Chains A and B, each alone.
Chain A
Amino acid sequence: QKEVEQNSGPLSVPEGAIASLNCTYSDRGSQSFFWYRQYSGKSPELIMSIYSNGDKEDGRFTAQLNKASQYVSLLIRDSQPSDSATYLCAVCPNDYKLSFGAGTTVTVRA
């Protein structure tokens, strides 16, 4: 079982819609969770971090964490063409190293 698994893409959504990205992790002791956005040919850019169960909102992005279910998600509201990218879920089990999911590619159709 992979440490971090993301729903397979690509995910295509119309402009203005909500994009929903899911991620599950295997290490129940994980305490830190991150979503990164990576444009093609570029390095990852931190979007959100979340540490407690529940929702965390930042602009059009909402991260949701459920440690009991070992599940973390990212919602992108009012999706824009500029949101088209690969979204990486990352979990920090220990020693500050991150375990990354394979990523979900999102395409926002104008």
Chain B
Amino acid sequence: GAVVSQHPSWVICKSGTSVKIECRSLDFQATTMFWYRQFPKQSLMLMATSNEGSKATYEQGVEKDKFLINHASLTLSTLTVTSAHPEDSSFYICSANSFGQGRTDTQYFGPGTRLTVL
């Protein structure tokens, strides 16, 4: 149980294009999903918290107009990197709380999406 998927697993795009990353909870409902970014040899950095049916809450320093988050259902959240630039190249990872499966403060992580912007 508590499986989270992400798609795509990796993407290469040209500078200036937008990239959408999907995060799905496969066997549970996720009222809250989290989006992280991780640069090489660094720890996870929380970008935003996404709640189903409401606007995402962004961490300080994260541009909400650049990183658009939509949490349309209890099993799907999307992150769109708009007008991507090389400095946005990173490993993007989503996680979800397992609502209805024991404690709701346990986060299960998706496999991540490696974004490379040329």
Contacts and interface: CB of A to CB of B under 8 A. Distances in A.
Interface of A: 31-32, 34, 36, 42-46, 49, 51, 88, 90, 92, 95-98, 100-103
Contacts of A36: 109
Given A43-B91, A43-B109, A98-B34, 6 more contacts: A31-B105, A36-B109, A96-B32, A96-B105, A98-B107, A100-B44
Contact of B111 (A42, A46, A98): A42
B97 A44 contact: no
A31 B104 CA distance: 12
Interface residues of B, number: 20
Contact of A92 (B42, B105, B110): B105
A102 B104 CA distance: 24
A34 B43 contact: no
Interface of B: 32, 34, 42-44, 46, 49, 91, 93, 97, 103-112
B44 A34 contact: no
Given A43-B93, A43-B111, A96-B32, A103 B105 contact: no
Contacts of A43: 91, 93, 109-112
A45 B108 CA distance: 7
A100 B34 CA distance: 13
Q: Please list the 9 inter-chain residue pairs (A to B) with the smallest Cβ-Cβ separation, ordered nearest first.
A: A43-B112, A43-B109, A32-B105, A102-B43, A92-B105, A43-B93, A44-B109, A100-B44, A96-B105
Contact of A97 (B34, B103, B104, B109): B34
Nearest to B107: A98
Contacts of A31: 105
B49 A97 contact: yes
A103 B107 CA distance: 17
